[in-house]
């Protein structure tokens, strides 16, 4: 059975959730979704197995949604496919409401020399709103007083001029 080849160990806590996630899909549908993940993220069989062990919910996401996230994370942010496979939960976050605005903030801070070191994008995307604002917005309110306002606008779907990079 294809389900067992997805790599979720039978004794793991994730197994029950994995079984629930794929119960609605035929073996052919699961195989098609796995193939789509491979193509979309340029993942190997091992990468797909790692990603699905950590976020089997990916099988329920639409191809269009995953394609948008792939283009953003690989081509815009510059993340390696294997990095994404190791941290697949980031694919479940909102692209326009969370990832893109936070990416804009970090990129703005980097380009203006306001970060001492490059943060992990996994950390940037996964942390709570309170943590993100406390770590990346408030410490820079003197150097970039507009940052909180620009971030809020980006979360609302606008791209402030200061966040337009060439």
pTM of this structure: 0.84
Residue appearing with tokens 């703005």: 108
- pLDDT tens digits along 87-123: 999 999 999 999 999 999 999 999 999 998 999 999 9
Asked if 125 and 137 sit in the same domain, the reply is: yes
For every residue of 67-124, DSSP letters joined together read HHHHIIIIIII---HHHHHHSGGGGGS-IIIIIHHHHHHHHHHHHTT--SSPPPHHHH
Select from 71, 92, 113 the last residue of a domain. 92
- Together in a domain, 13 and 74: yes
Do 112 and 36 lie in one domain? The reply is no
Q: Give the number of domains in the chain.
A: 2
The pLDDT score that the predictor gives to residue 9 is 72
What local confidence, expressed as pLDDT, does residue 21 receive? Answer: 67
Residues 146 and 84 in one domain: no
pLDDT in tens, 26-73: 889 889 999 999 999 999 999 998 998 888 889 889 999 999 999 999
Question: How is residue 82 written in tokens?
Answer: 């294997």
Residue 1's pLDDT is 42
Shared-domain flag, residues 65 and 108: no
Residue 142 belongs to domain spanning: 95-163
């Amino acid at each position: 059975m294809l389900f067992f080849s997805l790599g979720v160990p039978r004794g793991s806590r994730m197994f029950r959730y994995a079984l629930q996630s794929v119960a609605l899909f035929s073996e052919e549908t699961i195989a098609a979704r796995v193939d789509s993940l491979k193509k979309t993220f340029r993942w190997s069989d091992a990468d797909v197995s790692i990603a699905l062990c950590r976020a089997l919910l990916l099988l329920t996401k639409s191809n269009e949604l995953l394609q948008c996230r792939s283009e953003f994370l690989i081509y815009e942010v510059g993340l390696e496919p294997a990095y994404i496979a190791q941290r697949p939960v980031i694919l479940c976050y909102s692209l326009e409401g969370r990832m893109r605005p936070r990416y804009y903030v970090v990129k703005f801070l980097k380009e203006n020399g306001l970060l001492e070191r490059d943060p992990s994008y996994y950390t940037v995307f996964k942390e709570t709103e309170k943590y993100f604002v406390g770590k990346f917005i408030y410490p820079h309110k003197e150097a970039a007083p507009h940052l909180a306002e620009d971030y809020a606008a980006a979360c609302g779907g606008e791209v402030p001029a200061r966040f337009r990079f060439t």
